[in-house]
Structure 1
């Protein structure tokens, strides 16, 4: 594993608890810090070059900041190792396509977060859609508005620079959710803006420090799919957090979607005859609450399942759900939102992808069994 930032404890827990993978090395810019973290997991700490030169390592998990993904994922592939990367896999469709082609030539596989689409509530929504619950799909909407990542992130400046803006940070969760439901995007329209020229860090050791906003922080996009269009608003300029994860409107009903940042929540179906009814996801995989969100509500969070899906694909040759075409297309959608907003021109996408398979309790029995909860959860409030 390379990178020991805020998200690393979840991955370290998931990796150390799964019999599908064995943690061998942890690398960071600070080899000393890597050694300290690795000692707690029976692994070895090292620098990145030593890790990449280790022939015993088959797969590398890249948890470094997004701005480093282009070069580091290229280096991992060049070292002949499979790679699972935090999102986004790359910052442009050109680089993502080159990395996918390099991986194919090197006969290694790539995978990428987010993997929340494996969650029970998202799988329940997909099943309902595929079963024709809302009839002919017409259009969809998603809206996330936050007052700024500086409210809870200890070092948020990177999210207000090129490569860290909303389409590349929070956007991947929503893009993956909609591709899982509707397939590949054909065309993107977008506009953008920014509410503040400067932000102030609110928590952590840097609290009180200000930094410049270098990119737009609100994006209003239209994603045009083969069967429908989706309005997607991603904003860091909403003074009170607001969340409408998604609604999909069809000729016969409305499908309400859950927050794509987590594996659980509520998905519901509204039809003229029956009104609004919650979709039952209790019997599906990754449904049990094992953590709490930022407001203390119990949620299911099984980050790492995508990594295990890739590990199993390496061994058995079965296609995993964030395969190369899915990754490249997702990155192109992120980039297209930013370009369309900047140029005021619609962007016709050049790539496409296969819609991920629905989780099957039989065919995916190994994946389900080998994916642990990264958390020890106390359900008591």
Structure 2
């Protein structure tokens, strides 16, 4: 198949990951990089043998079929509308939009223009999450009854060089960390029917801890702790996300059923150690050996090897453009997950349970045969050996 010509808008922290994924995939070919800072776009593009250009020039380029939107989340709806109006498909970093109304309008606009939309996160493609899905669908724990997930951090300033954006409207936890958990749970249990949430706020100001802005302070304009109930047809899920805890704490997820329990993996990555618990046999790890996107390829913030194949959703969408086969983060999935995010913030603000209007099919599970092209055309955007060497160099000067 002829590779898809891709344009990237946004040259910030996440751009290197996507550009590496594009460079390594036979299905994708980089046509150009655009940014609000032309010098930055040119410098980033040059590393990958492409041209830096303005947003207008990239959208007017007839070679570009698909645009990757890596701008801040609060800008996504307006920019994604421009991309679609230019007759190009768009794959957006999360969130695709901030409201159900915007997401529905964008999906309708895309359908009218004959282009596709898609959105991160794509971590649920990972082996750990696919193994849990296989066990759940196979009846390993009987009928699901309820689930729970918890993610707690002292703040994103713990590791991010530009954390202020996550404490503004559109950057709060349901729109930033939330999409990973929302996508994981929708992949496991299907569409959400009702949302009920409460929220609170920690410190009124935060301090940047890393990078060129280290030591500078910035205000907090949004709630930073959310306690959420998601009601599915199959079960209820309690989800807690907080940027106000003293120490990083995580329970990625547990699903309790009538015949056992599943311990899930961290939805921010593709790998992990999902396990099954049964009354008679106790704990056993789920087998991920025969699944793609399992091999560790980078180090996490704690220096532990993890699998991170961000970009597989982009390749899935590129294949959909060439073959007509649906991709897993298509319009219905995008619209529904955006509505969940908006419903969480609205429920927390009003104290009312929110009934959702949209729905979606569960994304199809990965299959080694049916998805052979996807697997073959997805490259690792990281090099574990390089990261390990760099860490050793820093640790032992």
TM range (shorter): over 0.9
Instruction: Quote the offset at 1:239 in angstroms.
Output: 0.7
Q: Provide the C-alpha distance between the structure 1 equivalents of 2:310 and 2:202, rounded to a whole number of angstroms.
A: 32
Is 1:359 aligned to 2:366, yes or no?
A: yes
Q: 1:342: which partner in 2?
A: 349
Question: Which segments of 5 or more consecutive residues in structure 1 lack a partner in the other structure?
Answer: none
SS of residue matched to 1:167: helix
Is 1:278 aligned to 2:285, yes or no?
A: yes
Q: 2:395: which partner in 1?
A: none
Count of equivalent residues: 381
Instruction: Quote the offset at 1:32 in angstroms.
Output: 2.1
**What do you get for the CA RMSD once the two structures are aligned?**
0.9
Which residue, out of 274, 293, 297, partners 1:290?
A: 297
Q: What does 1:323-338 correspond to in 2, within 5 Å?
A: 323-338=330-345
Q: 1:107: which partner in 2?
A: 114
Q: 1:26: which partner in 2?
A: 33
Q: 2:320: which partner in 1?
A: 313
Q: 1:374: which partner in 2?
A: 381
SS of residue matched to 2:165: helix
Q: Provide the C-alpha distance between the structure 2 equivalents of 1:151 and 1:300, rounded to a whole number of angstroms.
A: 21
SS of residue matched to 1:142: strand
SS of residue matched to 2:251: strand
Instruction: Quote the offset at 1:35 in angstroms.
Output: 1.3
Q: 1:255: which partner in 2?
A: 262
Instruction: Quote the offset at 1:377 in angstroms.
Output: 2.0
Q: 1:43: which partner in 2?
A: 50
Q: Provide the C-alpha distance between the structure 1 equivalents of 2:210 and 2:384, rounded to a whole number of angstroms.
A: 25
Structure 1 stretches of at least 4 aligned residues deviating more than 3 Å after TM superposition: none
Instruction: Quote the offset at 1:224 in angstroms.
Output: 0.3
Which residue, out of 129, 150, 153, partners 2:157?
A: 150
SS of residue matched to 1:334: helix
Q: What does 1:189-268 correspond to in 2, within 5 Å?
A: 189-268=196-275
Which residue, out of 62, 75, 80, partners 1:73?
A: 80
Is 1:60 aligned to 2:43, yes or no?
A: no
SS of residue matched to 2:20: helix
Question: Which segments of 5 or more consecutive residues in structure 2 lack a partner in the other structure?
Answer: 1-7, 393-397
Q: Provide the C-alpha distance between the structure 1 equivalents of 2:41 and 2:223, rounded to a whole number of angstroms.
A: 35
Instruction: Quote the offset at 1:73 in angstroms.
Output: 0.3
SS of residue matched to 1:244: strand
Instruction: Quote the offset at 1:352 in angstroms.
Output: 0.1
Which residue, out of 128, 135, 139, partners 1:121?
A: 128
Q: 1:322: which partner in 2?
A: 329
Instruction: Quote the offset at 1:19 in angstroms.
Output: 0.5
Which residue, out of 181, 184, 195, partners 1:188?
A: 195
Q: Provide the C-alpha distance between the structure 1 equivalents of 2:270 and 2:289, rounded to a whole number of angstroms.
A: 12
Q: Provide the C-alpha distance between the structure 2 equivalents of 1:188 and 1:38, rounded to a whole number of angstroms.
A: 42
Q: Provide the C-alpha distance between the structure 2 equivalents of 1:263 and 1:32, rounded to a whole number of angstroms.
A: 33
TM-score, reference length from structure 2: 0.95
Q: What does 1:88-99 correspond to in 2, within 5 Å?
A: 88-99=95-106
- Structure 1 range deviating more: 271-280 or 31-40: 31-40
